[in-house]
Amino acid sequence: MKYEFSNSLQVLAEDVSLRLFPHIKLDRIKCFRSTGTSTDNTIARCHGLGVLMQEAMGVGAFYALEFIREQFDDLSTEEKAKTVIHELMHIPEAFGGGFKHHDIVTDNNVDEAYRRYLECRKANTRIDFFWVLREQKK
């Protein structure tokens, strides 16, 4: 496998984070395109630096978002944005190295987050998407 930092995906991920996910520390996430994977079903992955490794290294949480070129690059602009949102949604509000699972990161929640993202871009506003989800459940 080869990994290459992707400035265009980094810019998108930072914009989405600023508008929807205020808990994400922008200097602690990086976006990469990968090539040469043997998987056919995975479009992207979120990798976190686990708590034990953070302790061993004396550093805080860090997340790398990997977008698999062979599956990702042919997606529409909308599907690429939704994939970025999906991967960012895995990063929990504690920003501690763990992950939100697919009981939260669902297609419906990603679609709603994408809709809210477009609204925020148009109005140049920001929200806390996880707060919105909690309020909807009340």
pLDDT digits (tens, 9 = 90+) for 34-79: 999 877 789 999 999 988 999 999 999 999 999 999 999 999 999 9
pLDDT of residue 4: 97
Q: What is the pLDDT of residue 105?
A: 96
How far is it, in rounded angstroms, from Cα 133 to Cα 128? 9
Per-residue pLDDT band for 115 (boundaries 50, 70, 90) equals very high
Residue 82: per-residue pLDDT = 98
pLDDT, residue 39, reads 77
Please state which CATH number belongs to domain 2-137.
3.30.2010
User: Over the chain, what is the mean pLDDT?
Assistant: 95
Global pTM?
0.95
- Asked if residue 109 has pLDDT above 80, the reply is yes
Would you say residue 10 has pLDDT above 80?
yes
Contacts (Cβ under 8 Å, ≥6 apart) of 13: 29, 31, 65, 84, 87, 88
Extents of the domains making up the chain: 2-137
Q: Is 97 left (phi over 0), alpha (psi -120 to 50) or beta?
A: left
pLDDT value at residue 41: 86
